[in-house]
Structure 1
Amino acid sequence: MHFTINYTRGAHDPKGGPVKVGWLLTDVDSPVIYDPPRRVNSRDARKEHAKSASRCPAVLNLESRYFEVPCPFDLNLGFARDKDGRPVLRNLSGPASSIRGSTLGKRIMVVNETEWRFPDRPIIQLKLPYLFIADEPVYMSQLDAYMHYRRTPLPGTIFGGRFPINVWPRPLMWAFEWHDIEKPIVVKRGEPLFYCQFEFDSPERTVQMVEAQMTPELKTYIDHIGGAVNYVNQTFSLFEAAERVRPDTLITPRKS
């Protein structure tokens, strides 16, 4: 499939400047717990020596191309089956948990067992309100936070994904394939859940991340394309149709 998206360019060639990517939160309870996406960098690395790895241009260039989405609350999850054999999640922190079980149950779920890729590897999904948008062709890839060291590795792998945020913006999820169900999933608040990498027309350009606001036009557009996955298997086939009703501008910077 081939399609072309035309955008009106300003007087300045955008290839000479950064690519503007907007982020915002969709409707969610307690938005204050969702921290802004952070550019990945070696925050605590030593930089005194001129030949330090933390000052290497190649390292800095790589890190600058990733943004991490932090975990909004502590996770300490175990896998079990109820008396009818259905898969369920257990909050292993119990009464000491920082989040109520009822609230956790609204944000995280076990995917229907018939949709697992492997019969012995449950898939869970954590619903997140993060939305990334762009006003020129930009693809976003969701990747594992592979540069973040965990003393106790996670007992599985995350599901990645790649899609164009200029025509198909949608709230993100943290999808996890649980390989070793005998081990818990433990993620602390503030630790990165995943990385976001952005691709565009020139490798020399950088990303300028700006906080955007939910305008009526953006809300209408998201509602228009939202839920398509429930009715169509190959949603990528809908990009051309979505572009026809796309507003001229998705990013409206949030006012301070």
Structure 2
Amino acid sequence: MILLHVDIEPSRAETGPVTVGWLLTERQGAVLYDPPRRVRADHGGRRHAKSASACPAILNLESRLFEVACPFDLKLGFSETDFGDPAVTDLSGAMSPMRGQALDRLVVVSPREEWRHPERPVLQLRLPYLFVADETVYMAQLPPFQHYRPDPLPGLTLSGRFPIHVWPRPLTWAFEWHEPDKPLILRRGEPLFYVQFETEPATRPVQLVEAERSEALDTYLREIEGVVNYVNQTFSLMKTAEERRPQTLVRPVQRG
């Protein structure tokens, strides 16, 4: 009998951290947008070995969550135009820190026919954040469920999940307004949403780095940009996109 030695230890590439790059697709007003940061819940310190702050399941989840802070102070009300189209109003009026033209570029209200419910408006907050990876990574965009607000939002943050190694795209914050008679208040610096990364295998940690906007990345983004306006199921294009994808999209920023 001949005994064969089989190396069942995973390779270093399968056990080391997965690098995920983040960047801003626009540099105008870049100082407004804070870097994503790991979620660190305020547990008030460990007072007991069995406290929730010591729970491995909770700590493991938090280690995989990153938060994106709200860049603006906004107090919005739901309204309609003279033609009956859905719109938003800046309830801060003359005391608003944001000019009307800037608000119009930032906030998009979806047409009524695109709402999930006829009495729940959907709006989107345009953001320049983009996440990308060179290995298989799915990213879920989630509400900031670890953040306590004494004044809950009058609706739901819409969540989503997609592969950032194949389909990187600038993020929006989407909101379904369940109580449109109540104001939507967002505060600069508070968590706006979380991102959670799924790796292969799932036990690998995530290393988040600021990435450069390279020519290769720009070209690839142009190839997949705007296709949602032409097809309903963009996931059907993933295989084609993966075939055209450059080998390397994540180039960490080198600072002197």
TM norm structure 1: 0.92
Q: Which residue is equivalent to 1:37?
A: 36
Aligned residues: 245
Q: Is the 8 A contact 1:41 1:60 kept in 2?
A: no
Equivalences for 1:21-100 in 2 at 5 Å? Answer: 21-43=20-42, 45-47=44-46, 49-100=48-99
Q: How far is 1:107 from its partner?
A: 0.8
Does the residue aligned with 1:240 lie in a helix, a strand or coil? helix
Residue 197 of structure 1 aligns with which residue? Answer: 196
Q: Is 2:162 the partner of 1:182? A: no
Percent of pairs with identical residues: 56
Alignment partner, residue 214 of structure 1:
213
- Partner residue, 1:8: none
Alignment of 1:100-249 (within 5 A): 100-249=99-248
Cα RMSD (Å):
1.4
* Corresponding position of 1:7: none
In structure 1, stretches of 5+ residues that fail to align are 1-11
- Supply the distance in 1 between the matched residues of 2:43 and 2:209 (Cα, whole angstroms): 25
Structure 1 residue 29 displacement after superposition: 2.2
SS of structure 2 residue aligned to 1:197: strand
Contact in 2 for aligned 1:46/1:52 (Cα 8 Å) = no
SS at match of 1:145: coil
Greater Cα offset, 217-226 or 14-23: 14-23
Cα distance, 1:19 vs. partner?
A: 1.1
Q: Please say which of residues 223-232 and 198-207 is displaced more in the overlay.
A: 198-207
SS in 1 for 2:66: strand
TM-score, length of structure 2 as denominator length: 0.92
Structure 2 residues without counterparts, runs of 5 or longer? 1-10
Letter in 2 for 1:58: A
Deviation at 1:178, TM superposition (A): 0.5
**Distance in 1 between the 2:203 and 2:85 partners?**
50
Larger radius of gyration: 2
Write the letter of the residue equivalent to 1:152: D
The one-character-per-residue Cα deviations of 1:197-227 (angstroms, maximum 9, x if unpaired) are 1111122211110000100000000011111
In structure 2, distance between residues paired with 1:72 and 1:45: 27
| Farther off after superposition, 33-42 or 56-65 | 56-65
Moved over 6 A (4+): none
- What is the CA distance between 1:230 and its match in structure 2? 0.7
* Alpha-carbon distance, 1:119 to partner: 1.0
**AA paired with 2:219?**
T
CA offset at residue 56 of structure 1?
2.8
118-127 vs 77-86, greater mean Cα deviation: 77-86
Structure 2 Cα separation of the partners of residues 134 and 100 of structure 1: 36
Letter paired with 2:247: D
Aligned mates of 1:85, 1:225 — CA distance in 2: 34
